[in-house]
Amino acid sequence: MTKNKWKKVVLEQFEALSVESAPYLRIIETLAQILEQRDKTYEEFKESGGKSVLEYTNKGGNTNPTKNPLLVLWDDLNKSALAYWRELGLTPSSYKKMTGDAPKKEKGGGLAEALKSLES
């Protein structure tokens, strides 16, 4: 997804949790950039064959297996994004630490409503 789409997703999460997002716009922007780069890196990884381990020939001419740098970067970007999610209180455990409450479950919803209509 693009940075703007990720930003929209994060802002929707703030709204769903009834948290004011304005003070965090710069952090949200950074998170969205990280997520966009993560997605691009994963696409590049898939397009390059999606191999987790590559063969690397060093200066001495020896060939050794090594982790795919794209996969390592993707993992690092995931970890960075998770740190931002936690800092913003957007994971269930971080939300609970910040507010003392568990995230509110939405009442009803697409699947729940569909199942209820089948029972009638």
pLDDT at 91: 87
| Residues 49-65 pLDDT 10s | 999 999 999 999 999 99
| Residues 63-108 pLDDT 10s | 999 999 999 999 999 999 999 999 999 888 888 888 777 666 655 5
Q: Structure pTM?
A: 0.77
CA distance 116 to 120: 7
| Residues 17-40 pLDDT 10s | 888 999 999 999 999 999 999 999
CA distance 28 to 7: 6
Residue 51's domain comprises 3-119
Q: How many domains does the chain have?
A: 1
pLDDT at 107: 55
